[in-house]
Amino acid sequence: MEPPKRILELRPHPLAFAWLYILWIYIMVISVVFYLYHDVIIEYASTIPLLGGWISSYAPLILWFIASAVPLIIASIIKISWRYALIGILIGLVLPIILWYFQGTWYPYLYYAGTAIAVLGIIGAEFHRRAHRYIITDRGLIIEYHGLKTVRREILYSRISDLVLEKGLLGRIFNYGNIVPISSSGLGLGEDTAHVGVGVGAAKGVGAGVIVAGGRGVKVARTRSYYMLYGVPNPERVYEVITEAIRGTEEAPYLKRILETLEKKTSV
């Protein structure tokens, strides 16, 4: 059997992971700001009731944790991945403790380390983008990821039940978007859920409580970046190439049957 013919090979657009670059740039910016205005932060914190007095000397650490960890925790909630919250806690809490333990102090090494980690994060984000590779063949889609882990998904066109194209605001401006192949087994679908609960209670020793809860889920096209064509340039053209290839594979069996029928008739 002949190997599949490659039609197109793609990688995510440089802006497809813009949110990841922005997070690391943010860590770099706050590291520089805290280093330059360390004394100003201590002076300002002394005027805040909760941070006044003896605790004012630790105010930069408290503010550092809030500034570095909270955005990453929010990113974890949005991206439904706790790895960013873990990174935020490591940078905002664990890193100062480690520096204080080995150095006897955390200033200014914390801000040096924060800047260095941010630079490494930006480089890592670029490697993460380049680790994705999408290959469109005449038989199906090959989706590969070679990063900290290796993922390879190959889906034949005959197994694709639906094809979804998504473009966000930046995608419309810079012409890139996601193409989600949904298989007949449902791979490529996520779920948005909403829950409502009603409770009725009574005073202790008087009566019992009643709780009524309900929920509703809506299936949506959502999956990890290494299970779909994530942030590909010129997605409309890529979508057309895939749909044309799907139609070609659907028509091929019928053409083959027609050809076989004609051969039988001519041989009689």
> Given a cut of 90, is residue 172 above it in pLDDT?
yes
Query: Which of 101, 95, 98, 42 shows the shortest CA–CA distance to 69?
Result: 95
Token representation of residue 26: 């943010």
Q: What is the 3 state secondary structure string of the chain?
A: CCCCCEEEEECCCCCCCHHHHHHHHHHHHHHHHHHHCHHHHHHHHCCCHHHCHHHHHHHHHHHHHHHHHHHHHHHHHHHCCCHHHHHHHHHHHHHHHHHHHHHCCCCCHHHHHHHHHHHHHHHHHHHHHHCEEEEEECCEEEEEEECCCEEEEEEEHHHEEEEEEECCHHHHHHCEEEEEEEECCCCCEEEEEEEEEEEECCCCCCCCCEEEEEEEEEEEECCCCCCCEEEEECHHHHHHHHHHHHHHHHHHHHHHHHHHHHHHHHHC
Phi/psi class of residue 235: alpha, beta or left (left: φ > 0; alpha: ψ in -120 to 50)?
alpha
CA–CA distance, 85 with 94 (Å, rounded to integer): 13
For the chain, give the percent of residues with pLDDT over 70: 75
CA–CA distance, 79 with 222 (Å, rounded to integer): 11
Residue 177 phi, psi (nearest 5): -175, 180
> Given a cut of 60, is residue 235 above it in pLDDT?
yes
CA–CA distance, 92 with 30 (Å, rounded to integer): 11
> Given a cut of 60, is residue 205 above it in pLDDT?
no
Q: What pLDDT was estimated at residue 60?
A: 83
Q: Could you read off the pLDDT of 93-137 as tens digits, one per residue?
A: 999 999 988 878 888 999 999 999 999 999 999 999 999 999 999
Residue with token string 């298989």:
183
> Given a cut of 80, is residue 196 above it in pLDDT?
no
> Given a cut of 60, is residue 165 above it in pLDDT?
yes
pLDDT band at 260 (very low <50, low <70, confident <90, very high): low
> Given a cut of 70, is residue 265 above it in pLDDT?
no
Q: Could you read off the pLDDT of 10-39 as tens digits, one per residue?
A: 999 999 999 899 999 999 999 999 999 988
Q: What pLDDT was estimated at residue 219?
A: 45
> Given a cut of 90, is residue 215 above it in pLDDT?
no
> Given a cut of 50, is residue 193 above it in pLDDT?
no
What is the arithmetic mean of pLDDT over 58-62?
Answer: 82
Q: What pLDDT was estimated at residue 198?
A: 46
What is the arithmetic mean of pLDDT over 51-61?
Answer: 69
CA–CA distance, 125 with 119 (Å, rounded to integer): 10
> Given a cut of 70, is residue 51 above it in pLDDT?
no
Q: What pLDDT was estimated at residue 1?
A: 62
Q: What pLDDT was estimated at residue 55?
A: 64
Q: What pLDDT was estimated at residue 184?
A: 73
What is the arithmetic mean of pLDDT over 239-261?
Answer: 71
pLDDT band at 213 (very low <50, low <70, confident <90, very high): very low
Decide which of 259 and 137 is more confident: 137
Average pLDDT of the residues of the chain: 81
- Contacts (Cβ under 8 Å, ≥6 apart) of 110: 34, 64, 95, 96, 99
> Given a cut of 60, is residue 195 above it in pLDDT?
no
Query: Which of 96, 242, 263, 265 shows the shortest CA–CA distance to 155?
Result: 242
Q: What pLDDT was estimated at residue 226?
A: 86
